[in-house]
Amino acid sequence: MIQFGAVYFALVCPKPPPNATEEQIRVFKEVTEPLVVRKRASVKGKTIREAQKTFRVTDVDQFVEPGTYLRVHVHPKRFPRYVEMFVRFAFSLLL
């Protein structure tokens, strides 16, 4: 999934959507509590808004700190295009 560009992380979890469950909201409040966030070295010197910006994981060995928000797109939008291009390439080798 990392090779397809489908894995992202943010230092602090973004605000949950309006249709989030009570449990999701509870977990969000726990992990974004100011006392918890301030203890993390990666967040020091950043505003909460800056820390909520998502970045793509580009390397399998990239370090992701415990408590980091991780988002994986299990059906990335580019995946069907990749398959289509790969199939065309494979058939062109056979012809």
Task: Assess if residue 49 is contained within a domain.
Answer: yes
Count of residues making up the chain: 95
Task: Assess if residue 2 is contained within a domain.
Answer: no
Q: What pLDDT shows up at residue 79?
A: 61
- Confidence check: pLDDT of 91 > 80: no
- Confidence check: pLDDT of 93 > 80: no
Q: Residue 43 and residue 12: Cα distance in Å, rounded?
A: 8
User: Is 52 in contact with 13 (CB distance < 8 Å)?
Assistant: yes
- Confidence check: pLDDT of 56 > 70: yes
The predicted model scores a pTM of: 0.63
Q: How many domains does the chain have?
A: 1
Q: What pLDDT shows up at residue 21?
A: 92
Residues 6+ apart with CB under 8 A from 43: 11, 12, 37, 51
Task: Assess if residue 33 is contained within a domain.
Answer: yes
Task: Assess if residue 56 is contained within a domain.
Answer: yes
What is the domain range of residue 55?
7-94
Task: Assess if residue 1 is contained within a domain.
Answer: no
